[in-house]
Amino acid sequence: MVDDSENTSVNPRVGDTDTLAEVVERRFSRRGFIGASALAGSYLALAGCTGPARPAGRGGSGTEAPPAFGFTEIPRGMDTTHHVPNGYRSDVLLRWGDALFPGAPEFDAGAQTAAAQRLQFGYNNDFIGYVPLTLDAGQQNRALLCVNHEYTTTALMFPGLGDEWPRRLTREQVEVEMAAHGGSVVEVVREEGRWRVVLDSPYNRRVCADGTPMRVSGPAAGHPRLRTTEDPQGRTVAGTMNNCAGGVTPWGTYLMAEENFNGNFLGQVPEHHPEADNHARYGVPGRWYDWGRHFDRFDVGQEPNEPNRYGWVVEVDVMDPDSVPVKRTALGRFKHEGAESVVAPDGRVVLYMGDDQRFDYLYKFVTRRAYSPHDRQANRDLLDDGVLHVARFDADGDIDWLPLVHGQGPLNADNGFHTQADVLIETRRAADLLGATPMDRPEDVEPDPGSGKAYVMLTNNHQRTPEQADAANPRGPNLSGHIIEITEPGGDFAATRSRWDILVRCGNPAVPDEGATWNHATTEHGWFGSPDNAAIDPQGRLWVATDGNDKTGAADGIWALETDGERRGTGRAFFRAPVGAEVCGPRFAPDGRSLFLAVQHPGDADGARFERPATRWPDFVEDRPPRPSVVVVTREDGGTVGS
Ligand code: FEO
Ligand code: CA
Ligand code: CA
Ligand code: CA
């Protein structure tokens, strides 16, 4: 989803010494499964702590290196369905409305209810996390998928809304939308090479925008600016929403990043209200949805502090389906696109986070304490204590990571920051004062533990003028986005000074005025625009998913992108989405043989309605609207995806 505004100025039941492996082992023994003794090791590999071994011939100066990718790319184009290369298979694994629990009502597109939606896969799947549950002789075949449901495409969800827009919704329809937001934790198993959902898994759960109480923790917990009528303590929020990208921590928890929360608020605070400027900086109220007409807390005139309770990163302990999710305020409040993490050499955990707004910033959080690989409980509140930094990109290729710490520099009472809570609630204004570099919509940031690099997706910024172009955002306007490669000194992800370079300026290389910079080996199908999500596969190769490539006349999709040697900057088209959709996820299984991806808002073209979507993907059943779905891509011969 794009916000068209811009920056203007568990069961305590889990004991104290349990490791993730022990928790899994106990749960599975109860259910008669074999133990998961190899799990801790598998988890380390997932988090990159042990780092996947790189194939020989990659990562060096590499002038003789062969292409990193071996598939035959798919052609540019756009139609009603999705496409994968020859020799690949795609299976739709989870669709909006699919049952997640035994006895969940069968999906009925024309008569959806909130009660049904709370038991079904949500709308507009975005982030996909993979938490392994077992390792059988090296075959990672049982896992939890953690999938965000970012937002609801109202016009495609409900019949009979007509052409008058925006349309007033009934309270029940709003409740359906709230139940369709949030996330799903779903156990999946691979049998004979095919993945399926485990409907009776004790881990399956839905997290929603309402009815999933969550605890607020960290420096802003309990602050008066977070207190509301429903929560006079400022420590409990009724749910989470606008969960865009996210992350999985090294200790196996699921991070849900709250992005465009502003859009779900209505109303107005008085001009001189203490929160007026704060809300303006975040585009609150966005008035994109009708929630505030039925629920006072989404009307800022009624509850001026409610927006301060969104824009955080939520941590969910997926090993305990009864656990209370936690909003970790130490990670700052902004339009969090994602929260991918990596372990620094000294054991501290580092999260890279983009604030997806035109002219907003790139952040890096470094925990104070080191991660404990063998004591899961010791990591329980690791994300409550650390330093949030914002990036200043210098023209000489340095990044200075500026600490957002109360009392340092301008972050003091003279500027309205009385405590660290103020700095975090108004992260954007604090970063403005520090002189952070306004970026072209920072989306997903993918650290690569094997190389000490991180890749930043800058999706586009049509409002940057030529005069506003700078070294790190060199085009004004920037219609197609670019990708920045960060190099951490000595692989120290916790460093406060890093180096940066532009990997590619996206767009059509055949149009010189666009200023795209692809490797000359890139074909007419291999270039793309508007990078959004990214993944590093187990071989250390970069994959990029787009949101807005359709502006170039072809569908969004996933491209493989070379980062090393003489082929650096060569794109290759791998997956094409159906019309109207962007592609999210993507996530590789730890063995690299399955790629999970999220097709978001299929059929959402101009003027599309429930009755006339641009496609009825993936069911193609008459009268049924399109369904955002998770697709799993495998090779027909069972080999490594992309090789
Ligand atoms: Fe939800 Fe920034 O994409
Ligand atoms: Ca995104
Ligand atoms: Ca990612
Ligand atoms: Ca996007």
List, for residues 373-420, the tens digit of each pLDDT value. 999 999 999 999 999 999 999 999 999 999 999 999 999 999 999 999
Residues with CB under 6 A from ligand 1: 1, 150, 244, 259, 337, 356, 443, 532
* Dist. CA 556 → ligand 1 center (Å): 14
**If you take atom 3 of ligand 1, which residue's CA is the nearest one?**
1
Question: What is the number of the ligand closest to the CA of 445?
Answer: 3
Rounded-to-10 torsion of CA 391, 394, 400, 406: -60
**Left if phi > 0, otherwise alpha if psi is -120 to 50, otherwise beta: which for 483?**
beta
Q: Is residue 352 part of a domain?
A: yes
Helix (H, G, I), strand (E, B) or coil at 565: helix
Q: Is residue 291 part of a domain?
A: no
Closest atom of ligand 1 relative to the 1 alpha carbon? 1
Domain count, the chain: 1
- Ligand 3 centroid from CA 535, angstroms: 5
Which atom in ligand 1 lies closest to the alpha carbon of residue 547? 3
Separation between Cα atoms, residue 459 and residue 258, nearest integer Å: 18
Nearest-atom index, ligand 1, CA of 150: 1
- Does residue 200 sit within a domain? yes
**Residue with the larger pLDDT of the pair 284 and 193:** 284
Q: Which ligand is nearest to the CA of 340?
A: 3
Average pLDDT over every residue of 132-152: 83
Q: What spacing in Å lies between the alpha carbon of 414 and ligand 1's midpoint?
A: 34
Does 57 score more than 90 pLDDT? Answer: no
Which residues hold their Cβ within 5 A of ligand 4, which is an ion?
A: 532, 547
3-class DSSP state for residue 130?
A: strand
What is the distance in A from the centroid of ligand 1 to the CA of 549?
Answer: 14
- Atom number of ligand 1 nearest to Cα 259: 1
- Across residues 205-217, what is the average pLDDT? 98
Q: Which two tokens stand for residue 31?
A: 């259910």
pTM over 0.85: yes
- How far is residue 360 from each of residues 157, 186, 438, 533, measured CA to CA in Å? 31, 34, 5, 17
What is the Å distance from ligand 2's center to 545 Cα?
9
Residue 305 lies in a domain: no
**How much is the pLDDT for 577?**
98
- The CA 171 to ligand 4 mean position distance, Å, reads 28
Q: Are 377 and 14 in contact (CB under 8 A)?
A: yes
The pairing of beta strand 453-458 with beta strand 594-600: unpaired
Does any domain span residue 14?
no
φ/ψ (deg, to 5) at 453: -115, 165
Residue of 523, 520, 516, 567 whose CA lies nearest to 542? 567
Find the ligand nearest to 243 CA.
1
For residue 347, give the DSSP letter: S
Q: If you measure from the C-alpha of residue 560 to the centroid of ligand 2, how many angstroms do you get, rounded to a whole number?
A: 18
* Ligand 1 atom closest to the CA of 354, numbered from 1: 2
Position 494 scores a pLDDT of 98
* Two structure tokens written together for 356: 């997806």
Give the number of whichever ligand sits closest to the CA of residue 535.
Answer: 3
Give me the percent of the chain exceeding a pLDDT of 70: 89
Q: Is 236 within 8 Å of 229 (Cβ atoms)?
A: no
pLDDT tier at 165 (50, 70, 90 boundaries)? confident
| pLDDT (average), residues 17-29 | 40
- Which CATH number belongs to the domain containing residue 94 in this structure? 2.120.10.30
In a domain, 9, yes or no: no
Q: Helix, strand, or coil here: 125?
A: strand
Q: What is residue 380's predicted lDDT score, i.e. its pLDDT? A: 96
Q: In what order do the strands lie in the sheet with 629-635?
A: 88-95, 629-635, 594-600, 582-588
3-state secondary structure of 550: helix
Rounded CA separation 620/627 (Å): 10
Ligand closest to 481 (CA) is: 4
pLDDT at 210 over 50: yes
Nearest atom in ligand 1 to 242's CA: 1
Query: pLDDT tens, 528-548?
Result: 999 999 999 999 999 999 999
Look at residue 319 and tell me if it is in a domain.
yes
CA 584–ligand 1 middle distance (angstroms): 9
Q: Is residue 270 part of a domain?
A: no
Provide the residue range defining the domain that includes 173.
20-259+311-635
End-to-end, the C-alpha distance of the chain in Å comes to 32
Query: How many whole angstroms separate alpha carbon 637 and alpha carbon 193?
Result: 10
pLDDT tens column, 281-309: 999 999 999 999 999 999 999 999 999 99
Q: How far is the CA of 302 from the centre of ligand 4 (A)?
A: 31
Of residues 540 and 19, more confidence is placed in 540
Atom of ligand 1 nearest to the CA of 356: 2
**CB distance 577 to 82 below 8 Å:** yes
Give the residues across from 457 on adjacent strands.
483
For residue 99, give the DSSP letter: B
